[in-house]
Amino acid sequence: MFRKIVIAYDHRVNLKIIEKIKDTLKANNIESFVVEDNGETNDYPILAEKCHALYREKEADGMILLCGTGIGMNIVANKFKGIRSVLANSEAEAYFSRRHENANCLVFGAGYSDDNYEIKLCSRKMVRIINVFLNTDFEGDRHIRRLNEIVDIESKQ
């Protein structure tokens, strides 16, 4: 289970959402801290890389990342060795990502729209997803073999 989670977000994220995440983690007895890009761009790849450095150095054992759609953060997070990131839009996705893949990174789309589509983040739903993610154990068993296959693939890169 998680003890310390690092959080990062880009410029599209409302700070009230970050506070809600921190409150949810605290209610689950999980320490949290926020990584910020103090530059002008606040680019999600740099933020995700900073989070991964903390994970790699064992300063954190999980990550929660947010950007406009969540897609960019999820793509970059999955580039890092040892990270199994999921863009979870439902409790079921959070559940199975932990149960079967032992995911250690949860990503949300904080909100984005253009002329065709819109992504909205409901904070109540986000809290439910986080709670499921935090409180679901890895099943192990047949899934260990598959995770080892992922590690083998990563080692070939």
- Give yes or no for residue 14 having a pLDDT over 70: yes
Q: Which of 67, 105, 122, 143 is the catalytic position?
A: 67
Q: For this structure, is 67 an active site residue?
A: yes
Q: Which of 100, 105, 122, 143 is the catalytic position?
A: 100
Number of domains in the chain: 1
| pLDDT given for residue 88 in this prediction | 97
- Give yes or no for residue 39 having a pLDDT over 90: no
| pLDDT given for residue 42 in this prediction | 78
Q: For this structure, is 52 an active site residue?
A: no
- Give yes or no for residue 44 having a pLDDT over 80: yes
| pLDDT given for residue 157 in this prediction | 79
Q: Which domain holds residue 81?
A: 4-155
Tell me the two tokens of residue 55.
Answer: 């994970």
Instruction: Provide CB contacts within 8 A for 92, sequence distance 6+.
Output: none
Across the range 104-124, mean pLDDT stands at 93
- Bridge-based pairing of strands 4-9 and 62-67 is parallel
Can you give the CATH number for the domain in which 41 is found? 3.40.1400.10
Q: What is the pTM of this model?
A: 0.94
Please tell me which residue, 136 or 157, carries the higher pLDDT value.
136
| pLDDT given for residue 40 in this prediction | 67
End-to-end CA, the chain? 28
